[in-house]
Chains A and B, each alone.
Chain A
Amino acid sequence: MFLEIKDLSVKIENKNILKGLNLNINKGEVHAIMGPNGSGKSTLANVLAGKEDYEILNGKVNFKDNDLFDLNIEERAQEGLFLAFQYPVEIPGVNITPFLHSAINSKKKRMNEEEIDNLSFAKLLKSKASDLGINIDMLKRSVNTGFSGGEKKRYEILQMSILNPDLAILDETDSGLDIDALKIVTDGVNKLKTKDNSFLIITHYQKLLDYIKPDYVHVMVNGSIVKSGGSEIAAEIEKDGFQKF
């Protein structure tokens, strides 16, 4: 099993958010989690990434034969877990090139692979950016600083394609995107998909799933998964909303 979440319960500031959640993801699969606001979708993403505000009450998560909770945030990232943020934060003065270069090399270091030099990295970044229709000028700017919502999301996908994760979690990446931006983002995801990596896509709306075809769709309500199935569930939600769950 690639990612195995077993009976996970999590609270934040005395509020129980996740309540005995179970989820299994295999290599090469695309999973979508849908659910109403406040159902705990983003909490799940952040708990997997290792954000420290949460208290784990119960449960286990295995990722690539590691106990995920034994690893800190950066170790999880270096092991190949990537989170595309719902609200990417601005980091003034920090240019994307050295930032991502350090990031990719810290991953290579952990994997005992040879680090990538400046020149090769610059080439890699340029080619990935042009694949995603990202203007070269945007690479000269500071991380997320002064970007529009759409630019930030595209930037997240660029980072994802550079770091080439084993498991990518997309937290409401579609929110605030117009159709054109949505297409660029989803194209990026589809290009990156292989039989060796997996995606966990968190979304509120069904629209995203018109562009990325998930193998499984899960409905999350009140901190646990109440229904799992194929993409027909997404259509059901589109029609009737989350009421009946």
Chain B
Amino acid sequence: MNSETLNTLDTYSKNKYKYGFVTDIDNEKSKKGLNEDTIRFISLKKNEPDWMLEWRLKSYSKWKKMKQPKWANLNFPEINYQDIYYYSAPKGFEKKPKNLSEVDPKLIETYNKLGIPLEEQKVLAGVAVDVVFDSVSVATTYKGELEKLGIIFCSIGEAIQKHPDLIKKYLGSVIPPGDHSFSALNSAVFTDGSFVYIPEGVKCPMELSTYFRINAENTGQFERTLIIADKGSYVSYLEGCTAPKRDDNQLHAANVELIALEDAEIKYSTVQNWYPGDEDGKGGIYNFVTKRGLCAGKNSKISWTQVETGSAITWKYPSCILKGDNSIGEFYSVAITNNFQQADTGTKMTHIGKNTKSKIISKGISLGKSQNTYRGEVSFLRKADKARNYTQCDSLLVGNQCGAHTVPYIDSKNNTAVIEHEASTSKINEDQLYYCRQRGLSHEEAVSLIVNGFCKQVLQELPMEFAVEAQKLVSISLEGSVG
């Protein structure tokens, strides 16, 4: 590698994170630490019914007996669960504001700065947004319009109050609290997140979106999202996330459950841009996320698309359980790691029904001193006749101090299953850079162009409104310039 390339890599690694500001707002917090009192405090703040508190406490007692999963290719100090605030809300948020005039102008300004205006007329046309600030949902746009179609789109806190039957039936049905320690933790202390219900036969006419923001110091965010697509319905949902720059690591442990009934389709996209830490590896979000979708009915489909550029640590495996016959699961992923970031991400496709199909396209890009691992598990159970999987994992290395790893597990108990797997690892090519620069593109533009080309297959799966944003984000994560 020549000197100019090394210089450019050096400037990339001085990553400037443009969402790193802090909103100066009075918080109401729980006491530090995790215990039954903290859980009761959260439940009380959210004015929850007893059955919900019970559920939380049961999850907590499970968590106490569990150990953190250790199989990921990640290296980080033990998390001190007693040194974290589990609830933080801007003062005066016992009740969610009825309309924007009740929302603190500082919050509105925060979201304007993040490019997510809360006023509906300014919101991206055709996108409804639920915004979560630390532990509470601040606002949900376009609610009225969606209600006319029978679509429920609200915070999970509100759903617990207003739609207890749906919550009781589906919460924890895909990710049981006792699944592993992070799911138990989330089930005990989850604070807010989004709830979506699409009634039978309804195609949701707009993108639904949640924007998560961690603001307060030493505070964990435990989001819980539940999406149910009833028979023959369709929904496309997008989540985005950012956090201020801080020297301490902060914990984000989310659980997302999707349920698609017969002939229903859910498309779930994530643009994850949590603060990744500085160029010396100080600070950044620990992102331990469990996402799982159940294709419960025949001919149902769940598609995960993720663009992961942030977080000091990413531990995340959006999965599909393909239970209904002919159901389809898809996973499209771009994960970019820079500096000292570590990502261990991939998917799990569990084929249970007949003729089920899954497709995995994973693109990992490593820069700086980062480590990027794809981990996937594709399994075919006994009754999954004629099920198929296609997996493609490509890794791109930029520089020579980073690492890319691919860990695919395949487990088949049915000999009619068809499995295809392709994997490649390449280095960014000096000849390609030379060629682009000879046409007049700067070194940074050239790298960004080549990387975007490398990710194209995944980026084109994003909803149109966000594809351009994601492309920009990819460039920013590479060049570290204020975009």
**How would residues 89 to 112 of chain A score, 1 for a CB under 8 Å from any chain B CB and 0 otherwise?**
101111000111011101100100
Q: Is the CB of B449 within 8 A of A94?
A: yes
Partner of A94, one of B3, B429, B443, B450: B450
Give the number of residues in B that approach A within 8 Å (Cβ atoms). Answer: 25
Q: How far is the CA of A162 from the CA of B147 in the complex (A)?
A: 53
The CA of A77 and the CA of B442, in the complex, are separated in Å by 10
Binary B-proximity of A126-161 (CB < 8 A = 1, otherwise 0) = 000000000000000010000000000000000100
Residue pairs across A and B with CB atoms within 8 Å: the count is 74
Q: Which of A88, A93, A103, A142 has a CB less than 8 Å from the CB of B440?
A: A103
The contact string, 1 if C-beta is below 8 Å from chain A, for chain B 142-176, is 00000000000000000000000000000000000
Q: Quote the shortest CB–CB distance from A108 to chain B (angstroms).
A: 9
B454 interface contact, C-beta 8 A: yes
| Cα(A99)–Cα(B437), bound, Å | 11
Do B438 and A52 have beta carbons less than 8 Å apart? no
Neighbouring B residues of A92 by C-beta, 8 Å:
453-454
A132 to B211, CA, bound (A): 49
Q: Compute how far the CA of A49 lies from the CA of B436 in the bound complex, rounded to whole angstroms.
A: 12
Contacts A85-B435, A91-B435 known; A163 to B457 CB distance under 8 Å? no
Interface string of A33-56 (1 = CB under 8 A from B): 000000000000000011111000
A72 interfacial by beta-carbon distance below 8 Å: yes
B418 to chain A: which residues have CB within 8 Å? none
Alpha-carbon gap, A52 to B450, bound state (A): 19
Partner among B432, B440, B443 whose Cβ is within 8 Å of the Cβ of A77: B440
In this assembly, does A74 line the interface, its C-beta being within 8 Å of a C-beta of chain B? yes
Name the contact of B439 in the complex, choosing from A50, A77, A93, A142 (C-beta under 8 A): A77
Interface membership of A186, Cβ < 8 A: no
- Distance in Å from the Cβ of A141 to the closest Cβ of chain B? 12
Q: How far apart are A161's CB and chain B's nearest CB, in angstroms?
A: 13
B93 CB, min distance to chain A CBs, angstroms: 45
Please indicate the chain A residues that have their CB under 8 angstroms from the CB of B429 in the complex: 89
- Contact between B438 and A102, CB atoms less than 8 A apart: no
Is the pair A74, B437 in contact by a Cβ cutoff of 8 Å? yes
A74 and B438 alpha carbons, distance in the complex (Å) = 6
Complex: chain A residue closest to B443, CB-CB: A74
Q: Which of B4, B440, B441, B452 contacts A52 (CB 8 A)?
A: B4
Query: Which residues of B (401-445) have their CB < 8 Å from a CB of A?
Result: 429, 431-432, 434-443, 445
Asked if A73 is at the interface (CB within 8 A of a chain B CB), the reply is: yes
A11 to chain B minimum Cβ distance, whole angstroms, is: 16
Tell me the complex Cα distance, A78–B449, Å.
18
Find chain B residues with CB under 8 A from A98 CB. 449
Q: A74 contacts B454, CB within 8 Å?
A: no
Contacts of B452 in A (CB 8 A): 93-94
Beyond A91-B453, A102-B445, 12 additional contacts (C-beta under 8 Å) are: A50-B437, A77-B437, A77-B438, A77-B440, A85-B435, A91-B436, A94-B449, A102-B441, A102-B449, A103-B439, A106-B441, A106-B445
